[in-house]
Chains A and B, each alone.
Chain A
Amino acid sequence: MNFLSLFVLLPLLMILTLFMTSNRKQVLGTMVAGSTLLVILSAFLAYRYMAARSDGATDPMLFTASLSWFEPLHIRYAVGVDGVSVVMLCLTSLIVFTGTFVSWKMAPLTKEFFLWYCLLATGVFGFFISTDLFTLFLFYETALIPMYLLIGVWGTGRKEYAAMKLTLMLMGSSMILLVGILGIYFSSGATSMNITDLVHISIPLEQQYLFFTLTFFGFGVLGALFPFHTWSPDGHASAPTAVSMLHAGVLMKLGGYGSFRVAITLMPEAAEKLSPIFLVLTAIGVVYGALAAIRQTDLKYINAYSSVSHCNLVLFAILMLTQTALTGAVLQMLSHGLITALFFALIGMIYSRSHTRLITDMGGLMKIMPFLGVGFVVAGLSNIGVPGFSGFVAEMTIFVGAFENDDLFRRILTVAAVTSIVIGAVYILRTIGKFLYGPLQNPEHGKLDDARWYERLAVITLVAAIIYLGSFPTGISAMINDSFSSMLQVAR
């Protein structure tokens, strides 16, 4: 048992503690303490990882551990991290942390809410540390189940519909994914489900075609692959704030993460051959999500469609199969995770005050709640890739990486994807212009207050992370890039 397992044990411990709490204060105390510990743990992990790398550790995965679980099928509880997982773990802990503060006033059933929230976090953390295909899948499922309850019970609007749709679509895709994973296992004839072992085994090409499609599709649906993205706008719009944050910020990244960790790494030849088909889909998704966002009037829908666009960009970059594009994809996952979490947090805060999310019903809120307004502008600007914020770094890396492919087809798709930065500007500025700027539209909004301390804390944490990533990307980018070089070496 090495310290990576703490990422799973800590949320489980939080769940246990939550069971024993009796009032709101204790619940919040547990959550704050636990999520802070998680942030510290991920920071410690990042430090340890970089230290190990600079000491010359060359294994693709570090801090590996393996525990036999079900020997006949070679299912093991195997953990290990590379630069990508470290980054994603940091992102997750940060969003769990801020999500706690965003849900400060969560009611009713505060305790139960956080119980499921922690279970969701357990699944996500477990997913990122797993290197065993089956454990990976197990944690993936663990993360999906609480979503249903969190949306169905604590959501708003058409929550039952959204929760059901989300769960069914994701479950359907994970079923396909399971077939893919088992297919990989059996067709490779391997005696292990560990990814680090499986990369050394070459799967026959005909089978790769099938299982690449299955696994990529399975993960892709979670990554909002066009045209299977429709669960995401409804799901995000209905979910409670913290869940939207965690879901759009982290859970959708499981799709991107999984699709390269499993689909691309294990079956590079099929990826090379089949990527054009999926590239077209993702490129459409990028432009399509952005265009669809233009017409929305609900703040959450705007951001949800924006997420569709950006998550498709992640998949797009992954399918470009160049090291730079892959680095860009991870940066984009990180960046979009932070930005979209910030967006959802702010939307939730604004909604809790104005009780409407329609931009047509609001106007001139900048004057009333300057802190939230500025936060929203920052989020908007980083969303459309303004330099200095993380979105720029990620998108530019993706575009440069995508252009490294020397064929016209991918070039044209890249150019099509680039147009999203303009469309992005249109819907973001439209949104900001409509509900933050201009004269005060609803006089009743004049009495609203600005952010409380816990809200400020959440917003400032996320903004700081976004600006840090956008201004000093060198280290993180290099860390991710190195992971890919070792990964691609192994794969070839």
Chain B
Amino acid sequence: MNTMGDFWVVNAGAAVPVVAYQLVSLILFFAGIYGFLTRRNIMMMLISVELILNAADINFAVFNRYLYPGQMDGMFFALFTIAIAACETAVAIAIIINVYRNFGNADVDNLKKMKG
């Protein structure tokens, strides 16, 4: 088991240590999760989801860059994730507008009523 000291020594030469990127994405990720759990508004939940997706994107890019610099897989995944995020947002917003139309607000609690 490595100690923190070893870690910094190993990463001393790097421009920015990989772990720093990861900690950023980690915070981003759990901030997203917190938002997703606490918000009642669907729109706000959607924003939280975007944060989570972003965290994932950062990870893809960072790992690709640090581990397999010659390849492009991670980058492409990030790219596609952005595209998917776009799709998801489009559909989600369509749904939100529908929900709003039916219930007068965009609270997630309304959606319980759709259950059979």
Q: Do chains A and B touch in the complex (CB under 8 A)?
A: no
Which A residues contact B (CB, under 8 angstroms)? none
